[in-house]
Amino acid sequence: MSHITQRPKAEKIAVFTFGVVFLLLMLGIVLKFPQPTPIQYLTFRIILSLAAAGFAAMLPGALHLQLPLIVKGTVQAGGAIAVFVLVYTTNPAVLQSLGVQIPKVDATPIVSKFLSLNDAGDYESACKLYLTVEQQMVPPARCAQISSSMMANLGAVESRRGPTNVVAAPIQSGQPQDMGFVYLTKFHNFPVPLHETVYVEVEGKEWRIKGYLVQ
Distances (CA, A) of 74 to 60, 89, 102, 132, 213: 26, 12, 28, 21, 8
Crossing angle (nearest 10°) for helices 2-32 and 38-56: 150
CA dist., res. 18 & res. 133, Å (int): 26
The residue with greater pLDDT, 150 or 26, is: 150
Is residue 186 within 8 Å of residue 88, measured between CB atoms? no
Say yes or no to pLDDT of 120 above 90.
Answer: yes
Q: pLDDT value at position 79? A: 59
- For residue range 134-170, what is the model confidence (pLDDT) as tens digits? 899 889 999 999 999 989 999 999 999 988 777 765 4
**Confidence check: pLDDT of 182 > 70:** yes
Q: Taking Cα atoms as reference points, which of 120, 119, 114 lies closest to residue 134? A: 114
Distance CA 129, CA 92 (A): 21
Q: What is the pTM of this model?
A: 0.53
CB-based contact 47:32 (threshold 8 Å): no
Helix-helix angle 79-89:38-56, to 10 degrees = 150
Task: Report pLDDT digits (tens) over 70-108.
Answer: 444 455 555 556 666 666 555 544 433 344 445 556 888
How many CB atoms within 10 Å of residue 78?
Answer: 12
State residue 60's pLDDT score: 55
| CATH architecture, domain defined by 101-214 | Roll (3.10)
**Could you please report the per-residue DSSP string of 121-133?**
T-HHHHHTTB-HH
What pLDDT, on the 0 to 100 scale, is given for residue 98? Answer: 40
User: What is the arithmetic mean of pLDDT over 179-192?
Assistant: 90
Q: Range(s) for CATH 3.10.450.100 in the chain?
A: 101-214
Question: How much is the average pLDDT of 56-62?
Answer: 60
Percent of the chain with pLDDT over 90: 25
Residue 117 confidence class, pLDDT cut points 50, 70, 90: very high
Compute the half-sphere exposure of residue 25: CA atoms within 13 Å on the CB side of its CA: 14
